[in-house]
Amino acid sequence: MSAIPRQSSVFRFAPSPNGPLHLGHALSALLNQHMATSLSGRLLLRIEDIDLTRCTPEFEAGIYADLEWLGIGWERPVRRQSEHLAEYQASLDTLIARGLVYPSFMTRGEIRAYVAATEAEGQPWPRDPDGSPLYPDDDLRRTASERRELLASGLKHAWRLDMRRAMEELDAPLFWDETGDGDRGRVAADPRAWGDVILSRSDAPSSYHLSVVLDDALQGVTHVVRGLDLFHSTAVHRLLQVLLDLPTPIYHHHRLVTDSDGRKLSKSRGDTGLSALCERGFSAADIRKLVGL
Ligand code: GLU
């Protein structure tokens, strides 16, 4: 009897080099390593550096050093998203050609002012699961010739998913399989909560949402292990997977590491980084204990 080949499990840790890694990243990387090892699977490292304005080679070098210090090994070569922008653009182009994506011209400041003006009249404006206002539909309602003119004028623009049309492409309810620390089992996905999400902007040629689903598929990722802060984004990822005919990994969203005030650690607030802890004499074993492993 011939043995049935077992599909091997593929995990990935996918940090962005826009700040030093902190304890939250350590938990994510160590859990990925632990789960990959327990399933005799592979562990990939992906550098998510599409935001060219915030990512630096120094932070990227820090990621490699911190992971080595933690005793985490990964396969080489590492995929760096900044080296694959043309691939993300090609997928975006297919969505544009299918009429599922449209150019939007409002800046962040204009959106804020628009929403504030509407709310000043007593009408609450809908927010996405991260608390940002949904995009107003003025650009969505433009005619094809208006769009052509605005694009030709060189006005800065982002490409947004037309959420309503995208949802019409579905022929079955969206869900994903979740094994993490929040809701578990078959989770219903409602991407409409995010409104018309950005898939590409003028200063970053692909969005996190688009590049993450393309890379997970391209790299054969079977298990996505990441923080609970990305739980609700998974609804958008599931929608893009259906639209682009990509496979769906199993998702495991783990608890977040919080500071003494119960706030999530963040790079931008300058929370204690792993290299700083190393310099203060902490060992990799101490870090495991600190993150509760
Ligand atoms: N690059 C993302 C971050 O650093 C993580 C993306 C993911 O794991 O899906 O927060």
Q: What is the pLDDT of residues 69-95, one digit of tens each?
A: 999 999 999 999 999 999 999 999 999
Phi-psi region of 250 (alpha: psi -120 to 50; beta: other; left: phi over 0): beta
Distance 208 CA to ligand 1 centre (A): 8
Task: Give the residue extent of every domain in the chain.
Answer: 10-291
Nearest Cα residue to 241 out of 214, 223, 219, 280: 214
Angle between helices 208-218 and 85-97 (to 10 degrees): 110
**What is 10-291's CATH number?**
3.40.50.620
Q: How far is C-alpha 260 from the chain's CA centre?
A: 26
> For position 270, what pLDDT does the model report?
59
- What distance in Å separates the CA atoms of residue 163 and residue 168, rounded to the nearest whole number? 9
Higher pLDDT, 288 or 259: 288
- What separation in angstroms does the CA of 293 have from each of 59, 69, 271, 289? 25, 16, 20, 6
Q: Determine phi and psi for 110, rounding to 5 degrees.
A: -65, -40
pLDDT band of residue 208 (cuts 50, 70, 90) is very high
What number is the average pLDDT over the span 17-23?
Answer: 95
Tokens 């996505």 found at: 224
Distance 252 CA to ligand 1 centre (A): 13
- What distance in Å separates the CA atoms of residue 194 and residue 183, rounded to the nearest whole number? 19
> For position 65, what pLDDT does the model report?
98
Distance 171 CA to ligand 1 centre (A): 29
Please give the number of the atom of ligand 1 that sits closest to the Cα of 18: 4
> Is 22 a pocket residue for ligand 1 (Cβ < 6 Å)?
no
> For position 132, what pLDDT does the model report?
96
Distance 27 CA to ligand 1 centre (A): 13
The mean pLDDT of the chain is 94
Neighbours of 246 (CB within 10 A): 17
Lowest mean pLDDT among 3-7, 224-228, 233-237, 252-256: 3-7
Give the per-residue SS3 of 234-258.
HHHHHHHHHHCCCCCCEEEEECCCE
pLDDT band of residue 265 (cuts 50, 70, 90) is confident
Residue 143 pLDDT greater than 70, yes or no: yes
- What separation in angstroms does the CA of 1 have from each of 4, 70, 166? 9, 43, 46
pTM of this prediction exceeds 0.85: yes
Which of 208, 209, 265, 266 has most ligand 1 atoms within 8 Å of CB, for mutation? Answer: 208
> Is 19 a pocket residue for ligand 1 (Cβ < 6 Å)?
no
